[in-house]
Structure 1
Amino acid sequence: MAQPALPAVAPCELRSLRRRQASTAGTAEPGWHIEPSGVRLPLPARAWESEPMQETILTGLVVIVVLGVGGQWLARRIGVPSLLLLLPLGLLAGPVTDIVDNKEIFGNALFPVVSFAVAILLFGTGLRLRFDDLGKAGRRPVIRLITLGASITLAATTVAVLLLFDAPAPIALLTGAVLIVSGPTVIGPLLEAMHAGEPVRSVLNWESTTLDPIGAILGVAILNGIVAGDVADLHPALATLWSTVVGTAVGLAAAFVVLLALSRSLITDELVPAISLLFAVAAFGIADLIESESGLLAATVLGIVLANQQITPTRVIQLFGEQLEVLITGSLFIVLGANISPSQLEEHAWQIAILVAILVMAVRPLAVAAATARTSLSWREKATIGWAAPRGIVAAATSSQFALTLQSNDIEGGETLTAVVFGVIMGAGIVYGLTTPLVARRTGVALPSPQGVVLIGSDPWLVDLARQLGSAGADAALLTSDYQQVEVRADGYHVHPRILDRDQIGDFVADNGIGTAIVASRNDAHRALATALFIELLGRGNVFELPTGDHEATSRRGLLGRFFKEVSRAGSRPFLRGSNLTRIDEAIGAGARVATVTPAEIGPDDIRLALIERDGKVVLSGAAQPSADARLIAVVPHRPR
């Protein structure tokens, strides 16, 4: 007999119904509330779900983002690769405190979300891979590293896992396939810590980015062979080849459509990054529907093509990807770290330690030696590349996903796979994170920190300042407000007619070892654009903006100025407090000149511009106190003898 229709509950009554349901817990079926009169009232869909469950999910998401981004911030502040903090933080948030429960937060969507996020990361990394940066010296090593080097790593790792963990041969082969990947998310911070120059930087970037999708594709092929029971035949090799073809074809097709739309101005400027991301996601989804895991390669190919085409600039797309990368990388490490089983790590601790030692001390150097033999790389560059192979997001994500597939098919070895992979990620991350910068310095591959200064402006006294900096042994360069390079000579200067664009300014900064910029343009628009550009190139702390007058320097003081460092719209103030273009012009007009003096010779009316320390370091902050043997560059008034 059908029950009569019951009155619906208005949304505004939901909270009171929840309270009444709580007061009569256990007296009604889920989804129903019993009135004192005995009438059963239905609650709206999902209204009977516990609020604590929703709060747990929300808390978990907040913790993921806070720890993911905060861990990277802390790692950069203390000068260590972020991987060294992110995975332990994931362990802390997951198995240790149980704040982040991936099953509760994501359910069955966990690994699709992870793959989706990894595809965006690889698209953004592909946007930074330019063939011009790789050069002829680096192309052959990269091709051999992702073929011969990866094959050696696969074979050696498979044998090591087979012997150390007594794992079945198919599981050992699957583990070896997962561990051939490296990943830009871990190589990038490592390269920053190394201060590596070319071609080492480009070789490692290209190897890590291209191996990620290749390793994932190879792993899926082997996994399918294990599930089907025919891993020993040609199925994995043919599946890998087919996935590579599909991913490459879809990526190229997506790149053609994007470039066609950009070249015909079918996309407005403010939507270029978002539409490009749309095509990256679409390429990933279409390729993955055709062949599993080929979507990662499609997104990577799309990024590489966009980075190397000459039809339209893609810098704005790259910047958008870099901003997403921080959020996605940190969040993924926390999520995947929360999936680790500490008991499995403890059970295989000594085997994992031995495996890490084998991979770091033997397998990686052997693979690099074979792949770079008879190339133009020097032994120093080969040695540095041979000591840089951390594992990252793709290894963690694929191993977790593969373990779930094995478990669902009642195949043993999934827990061993994740324990080995995560153990190697953590162990190799610690070894490489702590030692690779030292190796780079010992081999001479690490570049010295850039100490050069670039002055941006068109006032004649800037020529004198550049000349004095050069005479003091500091690297100094000068650009006009319109970005024309000024060649400062002993008897004058020469302005080159060519106006530099954004990419040329980036090359100019790199070629001249520029680490600091002083923006002294009189045009407000030029000054704002120049400050923003050089902050992008050098970082906010290395860009100084000289105000035009006293009113601008004091307009931002007040209550907040007592607590916070005085900062302009973009760059910090150079020189002593109160220095500005108007004051310097008045002094120059009264007969003052830019000169180098000792601290004892500086006068009360002199305008200090720069401090040159004994080791040649240039200090532009007026707060620094000079030592007795330091030199000062200042605007010195005429003093009659």
Structure 2
Amino acid sequence: MTTAGLSPVEAFALVGVIGVGAQWVAWRLQMPAIVLMLLAGLIIGPLTGVFIPARDIGDLVGPMISVAVAVILFEGGLTLSLHALQDAAKGVRRLVVIGAPLGWLTSALAVYYGAGLGWEASAVFGGIMIVTGPTVIAPLLRQARLSRRPAALLQWEAIVNDPVGALAAVLAFGAVQVLATSADKSDAATHFFIGIFFATLVGLLAGYGISYAFRRAVVPEYMKIPVLFAVLLAAFALSDRLLHESGLLAVTVMGIVIANAQLPSYEELRRFKEHATTLLVSGVFILLAAGLDMDALLGLDLRALLFVALVVLVARPLTVMVALLGTDLPVRERILVAFTGPRGVVLMAVAGLFGERLLSLGIADGATIGPLAFALVAATVVINGFGLTPLASVLGLRAAEVPGVLLVGGTRLTTGLGAALQKAEIPVLITDMNLGHLRHARTAGLPVFYGDILSEAAETKVEFIGFSTILAATDNDSYNTLVATDLAPEFGRDKVWQLPRDKSESQRHSLPVTLGGRRLGDGRTYYAYEELMAEGWTVRTTKLTEEYGFDDWRKDRPNSVLLCVIPAKGNLRFVAIDSKKVPEAGAKLIALSPPKGDVI
């Protein structure tokens, strides 16, 4: 085992490379990133001794994790729109209003009776376990391709309960702290409530102050993110000064206020915070996994297994079933939600932080919280990662076995393309803000959505999770670019396409090439395609074989415009202007072909 330590700079570089690298590999392998980060942290930490945080970074480990967790929870608060929650289904509200407190109680009981920890550690850890892993649930939902309603329930629960769980842990720890450090219980309670009030006040003032300054243009655009970070750190430090760890409450409240302030620059702020959080989540998780005590992990006995079983099989199902009593959700959807509760990075980070804090108060059970959190995260990620798709299939709650295509714009081209895709058993949805534009698709019997695909109505009525590819093909270049730019972070830029823009010699009205999605086809614009369709061109499908390859198809159809390829194995891919990839045998070619003289 390696005994020579790393310098702090080498340690930071290693954490960054391993953390981000694990997330990238997980994306390539289509698996939860947390699994690889767990393995990577264990390998470079307790298993090989290459990186030991306490040895290589020293006393900075604690403050670094505290600040990183504060930023992560702020980003969690920044995703909590009270308006969207108010408009959400009754089941979502019940999972938050009833499910969170009940989950706190049942999880604390599982810790107390299952793992055998004292009431102090059980109360704190039980609050943390309200969090169901927003950074884990999203990729699992995409992989399982759930129907819209259960997927929305799980996603919203994860988003809202992310800060709620942290707040529950803050409240529980604050109560334990004042009771453990003060002989006068009345003074302790007074100090505790004053600290909570002060933390909430600091968060409100910081959030409203930022909102006012940004809305009134007191802060220039290029300084908004630095100012936001500075105020975030100041609020955290100021609140933490009065009551230890109450800074987490302050920054979460600050994030919620900003999320509901309807700032014009909110999306830019939120996306930047998501990027920062991705880096911090990677770093914190590697630090926590590498810093785990191998003896403590190996010391977990059958009571740890009993604890995990109680959480997965009793606490979570009981909480969901009670919370959803009286709703109109079918039983099968309740069962799916009840047995889907993966824990993730936030739980691991907050549990490690509060475990250290409990130890500093002389509560020995704090040393067990970290290993128990590790066991719970590993177990739930593996169970849900490999079990969610089969469970959803058995219950009949999968949106589609094959990833669908979302066609924005009700035109003859999208109607013909949609009909060809549907015939190839690929789900499609055609959307348009003009009801008249959808008449061709409705006549062809294709699914349609009347409205703006970027609207809140679309978020609640369109099962986005059932689609993996988007083509923006309206007659408005600017709108196509807006759709592609707005949805690219969600679907991935390689999955968002649009028709080529109209070219202008003066370039006066052209948009920057950095905006929008990938360009479809051979360079033809919307109007060029519409002219071809008016002349009688149609969208046709051809299957390649060993005897009849792509070169043969191109020779027989020199004028046809290849739109997309459905490989024998794998998902559909549109054809880019500069595409050089040759389809293989077994693939289906979907192309726009002339009415005569171009088909054998």
TM-score (norm 2): 0.78
Give the Cα–Cα distance (whole angstroms) in 2 for the partners of residues 117 and 82 of structure 1.
18
Structure 2 residue corresponding to 1:636, chosen from 585, 594, 597: 594
Pairing of 1:324-473 with structure 2 (within 5 A): 324-405=276-357, 407-408=359-360, 412-448=364-400, 450-455=403-408, 465=417
Pairing of 1:471-486 with structure 2 (within 5 A): 475-477=428-430, 486=437
Preserved CA contact (<8 Å) 1:365 1:386: yes
Preserved CA contact (<8 Å) 1:470 1:476: no
Aligned to 1:453, the other structure's residue is in SS state strand
**1:450–1:310 CA distance, 2 compared to 1 (3 A):** farther
Alignment partner, residue 134 of structure 2? 184
Aligned to 1:368, the other structure's residue is in SS state helix
Give the Cα–Cα distance (whole angstroms) in 2 for the partners of residues 506 and 485 of structure 1.
22
Alignment partner, residue 33 of structure 2? 82
Alignment partner, residue 39 of structure 1? none
**1:160–1:101 CA distance, 2 compared to 1 (3 A):** same
| Aligned-pair CA distance for 1:144 | 0.8
| Aligned-pair CA distance for 1:638 | 3.8
| Aligned-pair CA distance for 1:631 | 7.5
**Within the alignment, does 1:70 sit opposite 2:26 as a pair?**
no
Preserved CA contact (<8 Å) 2:45 2:52: yes
Give the Cα–Cα distance (whole angstroms) in 2 for the partners of residues 533 and 282 of structure 1.
32
Q: CA-to-partner distance for each residue in 1:60-105, whole Å, 9 max, x for gaps?
A: 1111111111111122222222221212211112222223222244
| Aligned-pair CA distance for 1:461 | 5.3
| Aligned-pair CA distance for 1:118 | 1.2
Give the Cα–Cα distance (whole angstroms) in 1 for the partners of residues 100 and 244 of structure 2.
21
Give the Cα–Cα distance (whole angstroms) in 2 for the partners of residues 295 and 284 of structure 1.
4
| Aligned-pair CA distance for 1:247 | 3.5
Task: Percent identity, please.
Answer: 25
Preserved CA contact (<8 Å) 1:452 1:512: no
Give the Cα–Cα distance (whole angstroms) in 2 for the partners of residues 237 and 393 of structure 1.
31
Alignment partner, residue 153 of structure 1? 107
Preserved CA contact (<8 Å) 1:389 1:432: yes
Q: Which amino acid aligns with 2:407?
A: V
Alignment partner, residue 19 of structure 1? none
**Within the alignment, does 1:115 sit opposite 2:66 as a pair?**
yes
Structure 2 residue corresponding to 1:574, chosen from 520, 541, 556: 520
Q: CA-to-partner distance for each residue in 1:452-489, whole Å, 9 max, x for gaps?
A: 332469x9756665676678875243669xx9994243
Aligned to 2:339, the other structure's residue is in SS state coil
Q: CA-to-partner distance for each residue in 1:151-180, whole Å, 9 max, x for gaps?
A: 222123212222xxxx55555555545545
Give the Cα–Cα distance (whole angstroms) in 1 for the partners of residues 406 and 471 of structure 2.
8
Aligned to 1:365, the other structure's residue is in SS state helix
Alignment partner, residue 127 of structure 1? 78
Alignment partner, residue 558 of structure 1? none
Preserved CA contact (<8 Å) 1:145 1:207: no
Give the Cα–Cα distance (whole angstroms) in 1 for the partners of residues 289 and 215 of structure 2.
43
Give the Cα–Cα distance (whole angstroms) in 2 for the partners of residues 182 and 259 of structure 1.
29
Structure 2 residue corresponding to 1:596, chosen from 540, 543, 566: 540
Give the Cα–Cα distance (whole angstroms) in 2 for the partners of residues 512 and 393 of structure 1.
23
Give the Cα–Cα distance (whole angstroms) in 1 for the partners of residues 60 and 98 of structure 2.
37
Alignment partner, residue 560 of structure 1? none
Pairing of 1:546-565 with structure 2 (within 5 A): 546-547=499-500
**1:434–1:423 CA distance, 2 compared to 1 (3 A):** same
Aligned to 1:374, the other structure's residue is in SS state coil
Preserved CA contact (<8 Å) 2:174 2:243: no
Structure 2 residue corresponding to 1:213, chosen from 137, 161, 167: 167
Structure 2 residue corresponding to 1:606, chosen from 539, 543, 560: 560
Unaligned runs of 5+ in 1: 1-51, 553-566
| Aligned-pair CA distance for 1:283 | 2.7
| Aligned-pair CA distance for 1:142 | 0.9
TM-score (norm 1): 0.73
**1:549–1:268 CA distance, 2 compared to 1 (3 A):** closer
Aligned to 1:265, the other structure's residue is in SS state coil
Aligned to 1:279, the other structure's residue is in SS state helix
Aligned to 2:152, the other structure's residue is in SS state coil
Give the Cα–Cα distance (whole angstroms) in 2 for the partners of residues 478 and 168 of structure 1.
56
**1:485–1:274 CA distance, 2 compared to 1 (3 A):** farther
| Aligned-pair CA distance for 1:413 | 3.7
Give the Cα–Cα distance (whole angstroms) in 1 for the partners of residues 409 and 530 of structure 2.
20
Give the Cα–Cα distance (whole angstroms) in 2 for the partners of residues 296 and 170 of structure 1.
19
Q: CA-to-partner distance for each residue in 1:97-136, whole Å, 9 max, x for gaps?
A: 2232222443223222212111211221222223425343
Structure 2 residue corresponding to 1:269, chosen from 221, 237, 244: 221
| Aligned-pair CA distance for 1:401 | 4.2
**1:181–1:613 CA distance, 2 compared to 1 (3 A):** closer
Alignment partner, residue 285 of structure 1? 237
Structure 2 residue corresponding to 1:538, chosen from 473, 476, 491: 491
Report which stretch shifted further, 292-301 or 593-602.
593-602
Q: CA-to-partner distance for each residue in 1:17-36, whole Å, 9 max, x for gaps?
A: xxxxxxxxxxxxxxxxxxxx
Q: Which amino acid aligns with 1:335?
A: L
| Aligned-pair CA distance for 1:223 | 4.4
Give the Cα–Cα distance (whole angstroms) in 2 for the partners of residues 314 and 357 of structure 1.
41
**Within the alignment, does 1:59 sit opposite 2:10 as a pair?**
yes
Alignment partner, residue 252 of structure 2? 300
Structure 1 residue corresponding to 2:471, chosen from 512, 518, 525: 518
Give the Cα–Cα distance (whole angstroms) in 2 for the partners of residues 410 and 595 of structure 1.
73
Preserved CA contact (<8 Å) 2:408 2:474: no
Give the Cα–Cα distance (whole angstroms) in 1 for the partners of residues 461 and 358 of structure 2.
53
Preserved CA contact (<8 Å) 1:57 1:105: yes
| Aligned-pair CA distance for 1:335 | 0.3
Preserved CA contact (<8 Å) 1:213 1:296: yes
Give the Cα–Cα distance (whole angstroms) in 1 for the partners of residues 145 and 541 of structure 2.
34
Preserved CA contact (<8 Å) 2:472 2:484: yes
Give the Cα–Cα distance (whole angstroms) in 2 for the partners of residues 549 and 394 of structure 1.
46
Q: Which amino acid aligns with 2:323?
A: A
Alignment partner, residue 47 of structure 1? none
Pairing of 1:239-258 with structure 2 (within 5 A): 243-258=195-210
**1:263–1:79 CA distance, 2 compared to 1 (3 A):** same
Preserved CA contact (<8 Å) 1:520 1:547: no
Give the Cα–Cα distance (whole angstroms) in 2 for the partners of residues 202 and 423 of structure 1.
25
Preserved CA contact (<8 Å) 1:59 1:99: no
| Aligned-pair CA distance for 1:341 | 0.9
Give the Cα–Cα distance (whole angstroms) in 2 for the partners of residues 491 and 71 of structure 1.
45
Give the Cα–Cα distance (whole angstroms) in 2 for the partners of residues 174 and 526 of structure 1.
49
Give the Cα–Cα distance (whole angstroms) in 2 for the partners of residues 247 and 435 of structure 1.
41
Higher radius of gyration, 1 or 2: 1
Preserved CA contact (<8 Å) 1:148 1:367: yes
Give the paired residue count.
Answer: 562
Alignment partner, residue 510 of structure 2? none
Give the Cα–Cα distance (whole angstroms) in 1 for the partners of residues 263 and 515 of structure 2.
34
Give the Cα–Cα distance (whole angstroms) in 1 for the partners of residues 563 and 361 of structure 2.
71
Give the Cα–Cα distance (whole angstroms) in 1 for the partners of residues 249 and 373 of structure 2.
22
Unaligned runs of 5+ in 2: 506-512, 576-580
**1:620–1:294 CA distance, 2 compared to 1 (3 A):** same
**1:376–1:243 CA distance, 2 compared to 1 (3 A):** farther
Q: Which amino acid aligns with 1:211?
A: G
**1:442–1:300 CA distance, 2 compared to 1 (3 A):** farther
Report which stretch shifted further, 400-409 or 267-276.
400-409
Preserved CA contact (<8 Å) 1:467 1:489: no
Preserved CA contact (<8 Å) 2:178 2:191: no
